[in-house]
Copies of this chain bind each other. A is one copy, B any other.
């Protein structure tokens, strides 16, 4: 397994500066943002001529690979919410947002294909996440599932053409946010190879789920992994609850995103299960820790995770004791 970094953490720096820093600390892969106007990767340009080839060479010159292109932004336009909530991403009518979101998602796959990157990470959006609760509208959730099948079947057809997989990142305020909805998504789409998950344990840990169960439930469907942690703030949770709203920095929150090793994710167990299912790709670090600087994060994360990587599975024993 390799430890990578999601460069979206450093949109204020030039990509090559990020690469240099990452390599110097021991990171071995990068996950690149794909949304419009991000300063690290312009997918409209990359698909032209031999831009992709050159870009890839540049990345490789640092000894790095690109683990995934990620479009957590424009993918939200597909299932919504469509109004003001996503105007910051793209302004338009519901129909325009959907069309644009689908187009950009597909273009991300095209760019991935050009760059020989096997995975695109992203979201699905959700028109109204509150419908997880069946009141006041008990049919709300299943109606959103129908729309999901319609749009994503089309998107995945294109992914299939590009030979690229879509790794949905289960996350609150998304249609897929836990093991049950992840399972539903596979059933609804008809178990397509193009559809799998970007496993980010931080997004699941605070729901009371043993995140190891996510891995064991989907041994063939984990296409990418985020090295992000989430802290169930034990001295706050009994007051705050686990799905608090309000400022990430307020001191009495029951949940915060953290860097690996500083939250509630049992990393040794996560890495053990990933090893048991044969996952041998990238764990990509993304800084969303609200208590420490990115400098603290980038340094502490690699120092923490590197010694935990399991390099090979057990060979068994063949002596007289265990034959």
In the bound complex, CA of A275 to CA of B172 (Å) = 27
Q: Does A160 contact B (CB under 8 A)?
A: no
Question: Are A207 and B243 within 8 A (Cβ)?
Answer: yes
Tell which of B81, B246, B312 touches A130, judged by Cβ atoms closer than 8 Å.
Answer: B81
Q: Does A93 contact B (CB under 8 A)?
A: no
Instruction: Give a binary string over A242-276; 1 marks a CB under 8 Å from any B CB, 0 the rest.
Output: 11111011011010000001100010110011011
Question: Are A130 and B173 within 8 A (Cβ)?
Answer: yes
In the bound complex, CA of A76 to CA of B143 (Å) = 20
> What is the distance, in angstroms, from A148's C-beta to the closest C-beta of chain B?
13
Question: Are A289 and B273 within 8 A (Cβ)?
Answer: no
Instruction: Give a binary string over A210-249; 1 marks a CB under 8 Å from any B CB, 0 the rest.
Output: 1011001101000000000001111101111111111011
Q: Which residues of B contact A179 (CB under 8 A)?
A: 239-241
Instruction: Give a binary string over A301-323; 1 marks a CB under 8 Å from any B CB, 0 the rest.
Output: 00100010011111101111111
Question: Are B295 and A311 within 8 A (Cβ)?
Answer: yes
> What is the distance, in angstroms, from A271's C-beta to the closest C-beta of chain B?
9
Q: Which residues of B contact A55 (CB under 8 A)?
A: none
Q: Which residues of B contact A272 (CB under 8 A)?
A: 231, 262, 291-292
Which of A15-23, A84-92, A108-116 has 4 or more CB atoms under 8 Å from chain B? Answer: A84-92
Interface residues on A, range: 35 or more
Instruction: Give a binary string over A147-176; 1 marks a CB under 8 Å from any B CB, 0 the rest.
Output: 000000000000000000000000011000
Q: Which residues of B contact A268 (CB under 8 A)?
A: 261-262
- A binding-site residues for B, Cβ under 8 Å: 8-9, 11-12, 35, 37-38, 72-73, 76, 81, 84-86, 88-89, 125-126, 128-138, 140-141, 143, 172-173, 178-181, 204, 207-210, 212-213, 216-217, 219, 231-235, 237-246, 248-249, 251-252, 254, 261-262, 266, 268-269, 272-273, 275-277, 288-296, 300, 303, 307, 310-315, 317-323
The 10 closest A-B pairs by CB, nearest first: A129-B130, A207-B241, A293-B312, A85-B137, A210-B235, A132-B245, A133-B173, A210-B238, A130-B173, A212-B235
